[in-house]
Chains A and B, each alone.
Chain A
Amino acid sequence: MRAVAAVVAAGVVLAVPVAARAQGTTATAAGEIGIRAFGERPPDSALAKFIQYRDMPSGLIFPSLYFGIARDSLSTLQLFGRNIGQKDQDLALRGNLPGTGDIQLRWDRITHVFSTNSRFLGTETSPGVYTLPVPRPDTATLNHSAYVAPVRTQWDPVNATITLMPSPLWDFKAEYQHVGKDGYRPMGMVFGGSNNNAREINEPIDQSMNDIRISQAFSQKRFQEVVTYAYSQFTNALQSVTSDNPLVTVDSLKLGTSRGRTALAPNNSAQTLTAVAAGSLPLHTRVTGTVSFGWRSQNQAFIAPTINTQNADSLTRAGYVFPTSLDGSIHTTLTNFTLTSRPVRLVTVSARYRSYDFKDLSQRDSIPILVISDRTFAAGALSEGYPYSRDNADASVSIRPLLPVNVTAGYNWDQMNRDSTVRNVMQVTEKTGRVSFDYAGSRWGSARVSYTYGERRGNAYNQLTTAENPDTRRFDEADRNHKALMVMLSATPVDQVSLTGTYQVGRDSFPNSAYGVQHDNSNSIGFDVDITPTPRVSISGGYLHEWYDNQMRSLYRTGSTSATLANPTWNWIATNIDSSTIGYASFTATLIPNRLEVSGMWQISKSVFQMKASNPVTPAGGTVAQDSAATAMTFPAATQELQPLSIQMRYKISSNWSVVARFETEHYANYDIRTTNLAPATGNFIFQGNSLLPYDAKYFTFLVAFRPGLIRVPRSAM
């Protein structure tokens, strides 16, 4: 593929001078072609992180390509390309007449590798049907089977856009996007209750999205409007995935199943109609209004409630009648109105009201009986939707006491209303005040500071079932106090030096949650520096450290008597500590003006997280098993580190031609007790045993480049 692409591209480059001769037409070509060679290539089993979102072939590579024709230096037709012939290839064709119209076709492949060291036995007899031999493979066979091909999903978004501006007053835009998704991604298939067995398989991906968006805009000095209609269709070629049970070969009534079947994402569609209008009034006043209606539907036929033949027979004999599909329907309505006014030059007032309504109009019938994991029966249940509405009002005033200084104070009211029959808190209201200070008027620097404080409170707690702990609050409904501070300072003490520092703090506390999330804090501090000691040398560096602290309180409850339910020693507290440190440094130096340039880049990204947990009081008073179940401990920290480094030398042969030699290294290390050294057969669970393995990579790239500065790829397809 890459070889064919290289031949085609070479042909394009050869054709340029011929085309350039045409009267009034200028043809331009640019591109890079070269070779990548690995001094140290990670073993195939350790490639997962290295090629997570990219293709890194060795040998001939075509990093970029450009071919353009301009007529009278005005209208242009351009072909752009990156990573030609690779799994992350990006191609775009664009025609543009500035101020009149634009047409663009984009194919921008995205690859996503999940694992390269999965052990997965069995056969995919047809898409989404995994079988295992009888008798089933034993533990040793499962644990020592060969690695399968990389588990990967490939996205192929193709986007076509045409924009017409027949006059300065009118804009028309039509966009079509097709996203094809193929491949696999890991998923779990459970064959029994929580104490029974399960198998990790791969979800087959054969999906597509087809989206159309049409918009029209009218604009004059005092009035503008845009109307947009969008239609989106999601299609899944596979409605289910089936897998043999690695431990059971014969279906039994309620006791075991030889196979399991899971539903995959159903086909669905969505439409949205949006109208936005804005008008300018006296006193520098502007009003805008947005109205948007959305419709979603899904009516995919349900698959059978179980694939276990014995259970299915039992259901048939009992005469259960199941609905055949959901006839799912969601209606959404958005209205938004904004008013901004500058009655005097240095004062701006803004007000906004927004209302969003999410209605679930699906045919939500009762399911008469549930077959849990194709194994056991459970009482039927009513399918539930979760409608809600959210209203939001905001007002702010900005004052500029001095021209470069801007002080803003604002107040926000936000109310969420949910259905009390399905959620614990029907109405949650959050009131937030904020102030900000911005100074951006000096060549010496700028300052931006903001502070926010908000309180969210719900109305009465609504206990939905007796099994619920009435003192637990879910974090998305719970009362919450929120504080946030952000400081950003920039300084340019001399023209050659620029410094930016940032500091952010977030503090969320949940004052009325006896159980549930107690607090959720975030902190970050960082800086960036750019230095240009001479016009021929530039140096940049940056650092950002973030740390998070999220704490929750839980109470293990078991037994049927109030005494065991209320055992206070079964309290446990979990604190999740997260930190990430990111640093980078880069430089560019021109050693020989217009001839030789050297540049380099180094990055480091380190993350550490730990799930800490403890019991305030040692669990006691229950059975040994109960006390043990309530005992909490701190888990080992999980760490990850990625360090890419590159050194590059560019030698300009002529004004158009240059050669590039680049040396790159990448170091990756990872430890996570949950995946590192995970044996595929662990107890009754058969995993694929994959993890992100550490690696070191060293590779060289040699490129011949022709006018690379011209290669500018338009916006991404997604």
Chain B
Amino acid sequence: MSVLKSQRWLALVLALGVAPHLARAQSQPAPLLAQSQLQSLSQLPDGYAGSAACLDCHKKQLTHFGETTHSKVFFKNPRTALERLGCEACHGPGKAHTESGGEDRGGLIVFNFIKSKPSAVDARNGVCLQCHEKTARMLWEGSTHETRNVACTNCHTLMQNNSDRANLKQATVRETCGSCHAKQKNAAMKASHMPLGENKLECTSCHNPHGSANPKMLYATTINEACYSCHAEKRGPFLWEHAPVVENCANCHDPHGSNHEKMLKVSRPRLCQQCHQSTGHPQQPRLFVTNSLGNLVPRASDVQFLMNRQCSNCHFNIHGSNHPSGQAFTR
């Protein structure tokens, strides 16, 4: 044990000891793009000024842009004529703009509109879709977000790395989605939730914000299929099935979080009693009574229905049972 402790301290001392040395070795500023990496004027289509012209005035933007994946593709590994256009691949032809000394917007697409009137959302999105209308974004057109006039740049920032990945506008997927979906974002802070706040899941673990053929913009074909991607033990099929479980996990659970254990929409036993109220023990409302010490306790015959996990105290296999005697999900 003491050896392990000494190793920890040794590691700390080592890490601190090399600090000044590494500080010298690593503190070189990120280089701007070399002129040779920009497209020559002779190769440009009409109306285009070339990225070099952009840099005359927009060097500051390039400092951060140089660290992004788009910068690497456009300036270091362009595969298409469009990518070889550099800045103008996204911003459109800038010759009129440069020749007017920045006065004339010309054919430029304006994404950031703090100082200028923005281009229409579909025009802005059209720029991105030139390259990105494939794989996960094939169903963007007609999707919920597209029909609500959401711009790609509402969620993504291209000119600098703000996020771990995907050029998001906010630091994380949850923060980005939460800028509109506050209710869902905050649900992860409720008493019962999945580990989104701990960065173990993301909104995009289940949802495709770029559109899908499925409900709630899920990647999976149904809500249940989405749940099974982590909870395959619930997939079955089982000898004894529970109809609402087969059809939709969200009949009982709110996957974004809830006040109730297991992210249930309504607490047990009431959740179960919403359907099971025709015969037998689920029909009774159940009671707490005051005991001899003045404490409120469940009536003796109601302990198993009210305490701990309530109905699931006995009906443990409520998602389905493969036991020959498990019709009531108690086995």
Contacts and interface: CB of A to CB of B under 8 A. Distances in A.
B300 A72 contact: no
A315 to B, nearest CB: 10
A538 interface: no
A262 B142 contact: no
Interface stretch (A139-147, A588-596, A677-685): A677-685
Contacts of A618: none
A682 B277 contact: no
A223 B248 CA distance: 34
B72 A98 contact: yes
A326 B237 contact: yes
A358 B165 CA distance: 37
Interface string A367-409: 1001111100000010111101000000010101001101010
A718 interface: yes
Q: Interface majority SS on A: helix, strand, loop or mixed? A: strand
Contacts of B285: 554, 556, 572, 574, 613, 630-633
Contacts of B259: 578-580, 607-609, 638, 640
A383 B277 contact: no
B44 interface: no
Interface in B176-201: 179-180, 182-183, 186, 189-191, 195, 197-201
Interface residues of B, number: 143
Contacts of A203: 316
A476 interface: yes
A655 B303 contact: no
A278 B27 CA distance: 48
A646 interface: no
B99 interface: no
Contacts of A678: 307-308
B195 A110 contact: yes
Contact of B165 (A332, A495, A715): A715
B266 A576 contact: yes
A675 B306 CA distance: 10
Given A403-B120, A438-B149, A3 B326 contact: no
A360 interface: yes
A276 B138 contact: yes
Nearest to A369: B325
A502 B183 contact: yes
Interface in B4-56: 4-5, 7-12, 14-16, 18-19, 21-23, 25-27, 31
Contact of A288 (B16, B139, B190, B197): B139
A572 B273 CA distance: 12
Interface residues of A, number: 211
Given A188-B316, A469-B278, A408 B308 contact: no
Interface in B157-175: 161, 163-166, 173
Nearest to B320: A265
A582 B238 CA distance: 40
A329 B247 CA distance: 16
A412 B296 CA distance: 49
Interface string A511-546: 000011100000010101000000000000010101
B2 to A, nearest CB: 11
A194 B269 CA distance: 14
Contacts of A675: 307-308
B228 interface: yes
B165 A714 contact: yes
A60 interface: yes
B118 A441 contact: yes
Contacts of B331: 260-263, 373-374
B183 A716 contact: no
A542 B72 CA distance: 37
Contacts of B326: 262-263
A283 interface: no
B61 to A, nearest CB: 17
Interface string B79-116: 11001000000000000000000000000000001100
Nearest to B305: A194
B233 A236 contact: yes
B180 A276 contact: no
A194 B328 CA distance: 11
Given A262-B323, A340-B142, A383 B239 contact: yes
Contact of B324 (A7, A322, A713): A322
Given A554-B285, A629-B284, 15 more contacts: A28-B26, A263-B331, A268-B236, A272-B221, A334-B214, A386-B243, A408-B148, A476-B248, A524-B182, A607-B190, A607-B191, A632-B285, A657-B23, A712-B165, A713-B199
Among all A-B residue pairs, the 8 with the closest Cβ atoms:
A265-B233, A6-B11, A263-B323, A336-B213, A219-B134, A406-B149, A632-B285, A234-B232
